[in-house]
Structure 1
């Protein structure tokens, strides 16, 4: 517990500010959780009142930089190597492989959006490398958290990056090395991923990274209200080439959001396809 109390009123205005800036929704049952996270950062920044901290974030010219530091505390970094592997293998085999073999004028582009500490794009890169496609596909990965991106670029993880319940493909050990309790991603795989800092609510930032044949945005929409999720999906759809594919988490569905994308089954995985 923290020493800075959060009244219902302060919870409401801080929660609204966070949802406005990050899209993350905190309901009434999340008050204590949010209060502890914000108070930890507020104390580090020298504040003894959460209301004063709110005013600083909202109105002070330096508040934007402090909000970036708060975002590092708030964003969910739960991820691991080869999460939902069957889905990734189907994506590589049935979507990216045909694109690469078509031999068009450019390399197919894939974007791992909200990639946290990078395990997802590295998993995709290893799946591509196993098929000899690593250098035939351009991989962009992004997150909002500067701290997570620093960890992603380093490519060195603790033992929780490989979960006991996850099927680790045999080819993975060509690209992973154990160093004590650390799991280190090979330089070849690390160099293949272009990490960027992007807020999924910022259409200008999304526009600057160009168009993609595939966007992977898994286990992210669950933290948004439907209105925010629709807004994000609309921007991601706009970043797809015609006939481009969007992949969300296996437990997520876009059907209730009424998007313009059509749902298709590819090798046991569901993808959402933009009209061509």
Structure 2
């Protein structure tokens, strides 16, 4: 069979079910029928690169064959890497800034202010959080004392994040003053995030389904937007319960608007704002 001249194979009902079950088992992603074409095109593209002709044979290559783990890592990069920009949802970022400003104003942030950016993709979100936090400390006339842990399941996305080099279109919502302060344009017209604040950032590979293997310390902010939407409702609630356990007293959990509607956890209270979906953990002398 020649991929150059033949049509790509069509994903059958049973094969779609097989691949969907694998994705849900390994990374929690639940695919609907409307995403069938996306799955077929992405898997087919990788099969073409390898000269594979059968979805079932390729399924074996990512599950049972030698080097299956490596091939799975390559494929999952194609399936989960999301397009994003800096300051994608300003109300949520502003809320984090307000939370930190209040802590600084009452002298409650003497220890490190620790932020976790979950599903950080190519890095725009954690760098946005870094700029917000750094400006809060500057406005309070205090030296920066914060850390940002950024995790994603995609090693390719993490490599892009660590390179910190972006096309101008990604900076559409970055204030001009921040552009001048945090970015340097290179000879190729790309913008390099270049600031000492990067010393306070750590990027690492992690799967939200394996939270026990992810950062063990507690955070002041867990920022988890546009990730839960890929999971079934019951799994979303279980993951949120687990994230609450990783919050410091008085800390906040920020998720995407509408990602959960009926979740309740006695340890947190939803923030009463229409433009942000966030929860604050009960404080103990914080």
TM-score normalised by length of structure 1? 0.88
Q: 1:190 aligns with which of 175, 198, 213?
A: 198
**SS of match in other structure, 1:255:** coil
**SS of match in other structure, 2:100:** helix
Q: 1:157 aligns with which of 154, 163, 166?
A: 166
**SS of match in other structure, 1:257:** coil
In structure 2, C-alpha distance between the alignment counterparts of 1:13 and 1:134, rounded to whole Å = 53
Cα deviation for residue 185 of structure 1 reads: 0.5
Question: Any residues of structure 2 matched to 1:152-231 within 5 Å, and which?
Answer: 152-163=161-172, 166=173, 168=175, 170-179=177-186, 180-206=188-214, 208-231=215-238
Change (3 A) 1:2 1:222: farther
In structure 2, C-alpha distance between the alignment counterparts of 1:167 and 1:184, rounded to whole Å = 13
Q: Does 2:154 match 1:142?
A: no
In structure 2, C-alpha distance between the alignment counterparts of 1:71 and 1:32, rounded to whole Å = 16
Q: 2:64 aligns with which of 54, 59, 64?
A: 59
Number of residues paired by the alignment? 271
Question: Any residues of structure 2 matched to 1:1-276 within 5 Å, and which?
Answer: 3-60=8-65, 62-93=67-98, 95-100=99-104, 102=107, 106-131=111-136, 132=138, 135-163=144-172, 166=173, 168=175, 170-179=177-186, 180-206=188-214, 208-249=215-256, 251-260=257-266, 261-265=268-272, 269-276=276-283
- Asked if 2 retains the 8 angstrom alpha-carbon contact of 1:109 and 1:214, the reply is yes
Cα deviation for residue 38 of structure 1 reads: 1.0
**SS of match in other structure, 1:202:** helix
In structure 1, C-alpha distance between the alignment counterparts of 2:47 and 2:275, rounded to whole Å = 46
- Asked if 1 retains the 8 angstrom alpha-carbon contact of 2:229 and 2:259, the reply is no
**SS of match in other structure, 1:242:** strand
Deviation string 1:111-150 (CA, Å, 9 cap, x unpaired) is 0110101111111111222232673111111111101100
- Asked if 1 retains the 8 angstrom alpha-carbon contact of 2:120 and 2:152, the reply is yes
In structure 2, C-alpha distance between the alignment counterparts of 1:172 and 1:130, rounded to whole Å = 13
Deviation string 1:159-184 (CA, Å, 9 cap, x unpaired) is 22123xx3625334211122243111
TM-score normalised by length of structure 2? 0.85
In structure 2, C-alpha distance between the alignment counterparts of 1:268 and 1:77, rounded to whole Å = 22
Cα deviation for residue 105 of structure 1 reads: 6.3
**SS of match in other structure, 1:214:** strand
In structure 2, C-alpha distance between the alignment counterparts of 1:11 and 1:41, rounded to whole Å = 16
**SS of match in other structure, 2:29:** coil
In structure 2, C-alpha distance between the alignment counterparts of 1:47 and 1:182, rounded to whole Å = 36
**SS of match in other structure, 2:208:** coil
- Asked if 1 retains the 8 angstrom alpha-carbon contact of 2:81 and 2:154, the reply is no
In structure 2, C-alpha distance between the alignment counterparts of 1:34 and 1:118, rounded to whole Å = 24
Change (3 A) 1:143 1:60: same
Structure with max Cα Rg = 2
Cα deviation for residue 2 of structure 1 reads: 6.1
Structure 2 residue runs of 5 or longer lacking an equivalent are 1-5
In structure 1, C-alpha distance between the alignment counterparts of 2:203 and 2:143, rounded to whole Å = 16
The equivalent residue for 2:3 is: none
